Amino acid sequence: MDDDELVRCCLNGCGWAFDELVKRYRDRVYGVALHLLGDRDLAEDLAQEAFLRAFQKLELFDSTKGSFSVWVVALTTRLCLNALKRRNLERRLFAGQEDAEAIEPSDNTCSFEEWLAMERREVIHNLLLSLPPMQRAALLLRYGEDMSIHDIAQVLRVPVGTVKVWLFRGRETLRRRLKEVGLL
């Protein structure tokens, strides 16, 4: 069954149909949340929240306006951006606390090349997290989710021109910072 058939089935009371949609998109939704938030626990919580909200608002999904995958990623992105706003407010209230999670190796025995690659990924991850949330979201949706600029504009509820500006500025900032740390 394709996604549209599963949605129709779910709306008609088939609980297993939504389980199938969750199975299809849970890794993608979690990945978007993790890349936007930089915190595994919070990403897991918000991925679950995204599916809960998707289930609760499934009747609002309109397949003529886009695919289920774009719709659920849009929902996830908005939840994450709201969480980032809340976290930013909390950081201002409780200055000095750092909650960014470091990427750690799964074991302590790795080759120098593996260690170097992990260090490089961590630097890039931290540089992405340092971007303004909307630039980070635009970059993630474009390059991580392979969305069109038009779809990104719909997800983020902004004009196409704004998405283009965020993508340009995000790429330029990353390029400059990667040069500063010697990775470009």
Query: Which spans in 38-67 are helix H?
Result: 40-56
Return the number of other C-beta atoms located less than 10 Å from residue 141's C-beta.
27
Domain ranges of the chain: 1-99, 107-184
Which residue do the tokens 């630039």 mark?
Answer: 135
Those residues whose C-beta lies under 8 Å from the C-beta of residue 175, and which sit 6 or more positions away, are 184
Residue 87: the pLDDT is 76
Residue 113: the pLDDT is 83
84-136: pLDDT as tens digits: 888 775 565 555 444 444 444 445 567 888 887 888 888 888 888 899 999 99
Residue 99: the pLDDT is 45
Residue 109: the pLDDT is 64
Alpha-carbon span 121 to 55, nearest angstrom: 34
Tokens of 98: 């750092």
- Which amino acid makes up residue 115? W
35-89: pLDDT as tens digits: 999 889 999 999 999 999 999 999 999 988 889 999 999 999 999 998 988 877 5
Second CATH level (architecture) for the domain 1-99: Orthogonal Bundle (1.10)
What is the average pLDDT across 168-178?
94
* C-alpha separations of 132 from 22, 56, 121, 165 in Å: 29, 30, 19, 13
Return the CATH fold of 107-184: Arc Repressor Mutant, subunit A (1.10.10)
H or E stretch covering 142: none
